[in-house]
Structure 1
Amino acid sequence: MRAAHVHRLILWSLLILFAVYFLTPMYVMVSTSLKDMEQVRNGSLLSLPTSPTTEAWAKAWSGACTGTDCNGLKPFFLNSLLLVIPAVLVSSAIGAINGYVLAKWRFPGSETMFAFLLFGVFMPMQVVLLPMSQVLGWLGIASSLWGLILIHVLAGIPSTTLFFRNYYVGLPDELVKAAMLDGASFWQIFFRIVLPLSTPIVVVTLIWQFTNIWNDFLYGVVFSGADSKPVTVGLNNLANTSSTVKEYNVDMAAALIAALPTLLVYVVAGKYFVRGLTAGAVKG
Structure 2
Amino acid sequence: MAQRTWGFWINRGIIHALLISAALFYLLPLVVMLLTSFKTMDDIRAGNLISFPAEFVIEPWIKAWSSACTGVKCEGVGSYFFNSVQIVVPAVLISTALGAINGYVLTKWRFRGSELFFGLLLFGCFIPFQVVLLPMAQTLGWLGIANTTTGLVLVHVAYGVAFTTLFFRNFYVNIPSELVKAAQLDGAGFFKIFWRILLPISGPIIVVTIIWQTTQIWNDFLFGVVYGSGETQPITVALNNLVNTSTGVKEYNVHMAAAIIAGLPTLLVYVLAGKYFVRGLTAGSVKG
Per the normalisation by structure 2, the TM-score is 0.96
The equivalent residue for 1:222 is 226
Give the counterpart of 2:156 among 129, 152, 158: 152
Structure 2 CA distance for partners of 1:204 and 1:195, relative to 1, 3 Å? same
* Pair 1:69-2:69 in alignment: no
Give the counterpart of 2:133 among 111, 129, 134: 129
Give the counterpart of 1:102 among 99, 102, 106: 106
The equivalent residue for 2:36 is 32
- Structure 1 residue 282: Cα displacement: 11
Distance 1:65 1:111 in 2: 51
Q: Deviations over 1:52-96 (max 9, x none)?
A: 111100000001001110000011101101111100000100000
How many residue pairs align between the two structures? 283
Q: Which amino acid aligns with 2:186?
A: D
Aligned residues of 1:166 and 1:282 also touching (Cα < 8 A): no
Once the two structures are aligned, what percentage of the paired residues are identical?
A: 61
* Structure 2 residues not aligned, in runs of 5+: none
Give the counterpart of 2:46 among 35, 42, 49: 42
- Structure 1 residue 4: Cα displacement: 2.1
Distance 2:27 2:17 in 1: 15
Aligned residues of 1:163 and 1:281 also touching (Cα < 8 A): no
Within 5 Å, which residues of 2 pair with 1:221-240? 221-240=225-244
The equivalent residue for 1:277 is 281
CA-based RMSD: 1.3
- Structure 1 residue 281: Cα displacement: 7.1
Q: Deviations over 1:39-62 (max 9, x none)?
A: 111000110112111110000000
Look up the SS of the partner of 1:227 in the other structure: helix
Q: Which amino acid aligns with 2:11?
A: H
Q: Which amino acid aligns with 2:260?
A: L
Structure 2 CA distance for partners of 1:281 and 1:32, relative to 1, 3 Å? farther
* Pair 1:6-2:15 in alignment: no
* Structure 1 residues not aligned, in runs of 5+: none
- Structure 1 residue 175: Cα displacement: 0.7
* Pair 1:244-2:275 in alignment: no
Structure 1 stretches of 4+ moved >6 Å: none
The equivalent residue for 1:142 is 146
Aligned residues of 1:118 and 1:162 also touching (Cα < 8 A): yes
Q: Deviations over 1:233-267 (max 9, x none)?
A: 00000000013311000000000000111112122
Within 5 Å, which residues of 2 pair with 1:171-190? 171-190=175-194
Q: Which amino acid aligns with 2:150?
A: W
Structure 2 CA distance for partners of 1:23 and 1:6, relative to 1, 3 Å? same
Distance 1:31 1:6 in 2: 35
Per the normalisation by structure 1, the TM-score is 0.97
Look up the SS of the partner of 2:232 in the other structure: coil
